[in-house]
Amino acid sequence: MKLLPGTSLLYECRREGAPTYATHYCSNSSFCTPNSTYQANLNLLLSDLSSNSTRLDGFYKTSVGQNPPDVALGLLFCRGDLTPAACKDCISTATKDIRNRCPLDKVILIWYDECTLRYTNESDLNNLVPSANFNTKAQNVIDPDRFNGLLASTMKSLAQEAANSQSAAVKFTSSVTLYCLVQRTPELPVGTCLTVLESAVGSLPMCCTGKEGGAVVLPSSNIRYELYPFFNYTASSTLLPPLPRGSL
């Protein structure tokens, strides 16, 4: 996991637990018939995605079927700090969970803290455009104006540097550290990636101004921040002052 220069990251070991559900999307506009060709292809797709969820890069995209509209396209994406076993656990959970939440829907996205799964019968997975933003902590921070400035500048810097996964920890006060994570799927072009991530950063105030935690999730990217280390990291660097608020 590449780290933002000028941040302080301390070593911590966290025990991997059950995947944490965040939210999901069902199109509610296109449904498959039980025992149809598409449903058979979808079953094969989900099995293939689960089988390939131990890849070291935590990313896999594939399709099953030959003739539209019966072709099932799918993609998995795991958080950059996960072990292959943890990624597989999250995707296996997601494939079961989403079939219960949206049993016959052809266009699906489900987000967990640890992974994202999506599938569709459309020609391009990138046509999926739903998003969600939500605060993960109801508590308000002290000095919200300064906190919001630090959050925005840190997130924007991470977005500009984002490969597959970027994380940072910056001091807000002597006793409070802000932890940020920005992710995108490897298939997303660099130019598009920056536009999408900056849009996500711009959406944070709609849900999370002055809150101790928040997230924006998109089909191909997501951002999150907390005042506790919600991702695993093993690197450290010298703590430098945060980016100037004027850099926004």
Give the tens place of pLDDT for each residue, 207-220: 898 999 999 988 88
Q: Which of 24-28, 78-82, 124-128 has the lowest mean pLDDT?
A: 124-128
Q: Is residue 100 part of a domain?
A: yes
Q: Does residue 125 carry a pLDDT above 70?
A: no
Please give the residue range of the domain that contains residue 174.
Answer: 2-12+131-240
Do 7 and 44 lie in one domain? The reply is no
Which of 127, 149, 167 delimits the end of a domain?
127
Residues 122 and 76 in one domain: yes
Q: Is the pTM of this model over 0.85?
A: no
Q: What is the CATH number of the domain that holds 33?
A: 3.30.430.20
Angle at 152 between CA 148 and CA 157, to 5 degrees: 150
Give 95's Cβ-side CA count (13 Å radius): 21
> Which of 1-15, 123-137, 148-162 has the least mean pLDDT?
1-15
CB crowding 111-144: b at 16 or more within 10 Å, else e? bbbbbbbbbbbbeebbebeebbbebbeeeebeee
